[in-house]
């Protein structure tokens, strides 16, 4: 009706003398309604173009050009994410959904597997449990039968970071040849750095476009703040070696041009969680959105993880009074491991 009033205003003299429009008034009413309807349709179409439809990354068909190995990696990681009832972190770094966590006896999506038992299975079937043999509770996870063994194994699951065991389990399950399975992410990161036989190529995460099947890693705890350059220096032996890191599996990259990277990681908020990261127009990590200014923060500024959780905080400035500083995505992303295309 605002548009109609504007049209009438042009037909009424400024001195207020009325003009008898007669039948023309009905024509004007009809024309105004049609004009408004057309404008509303145009606005709706513009809004649809401005806001891409939400994406279910694990439901997408394989992207053209992906190798069969990359498809298997993505499929395996996505199956586990569904099993854990699809928890996820939004692109703005806020936790959007979390259903069940590692220590619980609650069942996963299959209705029969308890959460802690699934984590114990990642340890056993990835071959990484043997390296933890001297850790209390590890031997109980080899055969967690009986109440005492269950209790000890559950304590091990809670206390020990298991994200590298999860990645190793996915890679072995997908049949990645030559993957250096380990309870430490840094072992297969170093393998990619030093050994041309590695199934992954070492790359800078800020200058390289990620693709499904790749691994994206950040440094955490006291090693946070080294950045991509600092990690390379450590691997080259120029500085003390980095120890604490965390890697996640790329399951989709910029689908439909939505400028979002989708990752699945284990032990992210104590579950198998999907993370969304913003991408720039070139399909690389969006440095501005992720708080990267070119100068990494001082080492140790990240929040040290509590117990075995490897994504436990959002920076020391995060508080109820300063929510803008809270983001699970502002990490010291330090390396992208690219899946080789010749495998």
Kindly tell me if the per-residue pLDDT of 320 is higher than 70.
yes
Q: How confident is the model at residue 39 (pLDDT cuts 50, 70, 90)?
A: low
Check residue 54 and give its pLDDT. 79
CA distance 310 to 287: 22
pLDDT surpassing 70 at residue 51? no
Give the pLDDT score at 335: 98
pLDDT at position 176: 98
CA distance to 11, 40, 111, 329, per residue, from 308 (Å): 75, 53, 25, 19
Of all residues in the chain, what percent carry a pLDDT higher than 70?
78
Q: What is the predicted pLDDT for the residue at 200?
A: 98
Q: Which residues contact 195 (CB under 8 A, 6 or more apart)?
A: none
Nearest residue to 58 (alpha-carbon basis) of 72, 70, 43, 74: 74
Q: Please give, one letter per residue, the 3-state secondary structure of 252-278.
A: EECHHHCCEEEEEECCCCCCCEEEEEE
Work out the pLDDT band at 143, boundaries 50, 70, 90: confident
Per-residue pLDDT, 34: 64
The answer, as to whether pTM is greater than 0.85, is no
Listed range (46-50, 178-182, 282-286) with the worst mean pLDDT? 46-50
Return the axis-axis angle of helices 115-126 and 163-174, rounded to nearest 10°. Answer: 60
For the sheet with 88-89, list strands across it. 95-97, 88-89, 273-278, 260-265, 245-253, 215-219, 332-339, 200-203
Mean pLDDT of the chain: 85
Mean pLDDT of the region 120-128: 97
pLDDT at position 13: 47
Q: Measure the CA–CA gap between 276 and 264, rounded to whole angstroms.
A: 9
User: What local confidence, expressed as pLDDT, does residue 325 receive?
Assistant: 85
pLDDT of residue 318: 86
The residue whose two tokens read 């209790």 is 151
Whole-number pLDDT of residue 294: 47
| CA end-to-end distance (rounded Å), the chain | 64
pLDDT given for residue 314 in this prediction: 58
**Which string of b and e fits 195-214 if b means at least 16 CB within 10 Å?**
eeebbbbbbbbbebbbbbbb
pLDDT at 1 over 80: no
Q: For the chain, how are helix, strand and coil distributed in percent, rounded to 5? A: 35, 15, 50
Q: Return the pLDDT at 303.
A: 37
Query: Parallel, antiparallel, or unpaired: how do β-strands 332-339 and 215-219 relate?
Result: antiparallel
pLDDT band at 222 (very low <50, low <70, confident <90, very high): confident
């Amino acid at each position: 009706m605002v548009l109609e009033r504007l049209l009438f205003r042009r037909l009424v003299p400024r001195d207020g003398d009325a003009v008898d429009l007669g039948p023309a008034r009905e024509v004007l009413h009809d024309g105004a309604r049609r004009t408004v309807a057309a404008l509303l349709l145009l606005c709706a179409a513009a809004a649809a173009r401005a806001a891409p439809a939400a994406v279910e990354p694990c439901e997408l068909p394989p992207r053209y050009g992906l190798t069969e190995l990359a498809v298997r990696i993505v499929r395996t990681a996505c199956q586990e994410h569904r099993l854990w009832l699809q928890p996820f972190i939004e692109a703005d770094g806020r936790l959007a959904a979390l259903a069940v966590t590692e220590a619980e006896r609650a069942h996963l999506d299959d209705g029969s597997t308890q959460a802690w038992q699934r984590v114990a299975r990642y340890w056993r079937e990835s071959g990484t449990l043997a390296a933890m043999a001297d850790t209390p509770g590890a031997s109980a996870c080899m055969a967690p039968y009986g109440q005492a063994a269950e209790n000890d194994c559950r304590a091990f699951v809670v206390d020990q970071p298991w994200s590298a065991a999860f990645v190793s389990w996915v890679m072995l399950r997908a049949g990645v040849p030559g993957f250096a399975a380990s309870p430490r992410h840094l072992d297969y990161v170093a393998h990619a750095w030093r050994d041309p036989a590695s199934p992954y190529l070492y790359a800078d995460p800020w200058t390289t476009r990620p693709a499904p099947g790749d691994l994206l890693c950040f440094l955490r705890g006291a090693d946070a703040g080294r950045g991509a350059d600092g990690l390379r220096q450590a691997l080259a032996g120029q500085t003390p070696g980095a120890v604490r890191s965390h890697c996640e599996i790329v399951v989709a990259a910029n689908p439909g041009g939505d400028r979002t990277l989708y990752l699945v990681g284990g032990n992210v908020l104590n579950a198998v969680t999907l993370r969304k990261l913003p991408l720039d127009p070139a399909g690389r990590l969006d440095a501005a959105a992720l708080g990267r200014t070119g100068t990494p923060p001082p080492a140790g500024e990240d929040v040290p993880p509590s117990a075995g959780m490897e994504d436990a905080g959002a920076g020391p400035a995060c508080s109820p009074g300063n929510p803008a500083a809270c983001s699970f995505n502002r990490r010291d992303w330090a390396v992208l491991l690219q899946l080789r295309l010749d495998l």
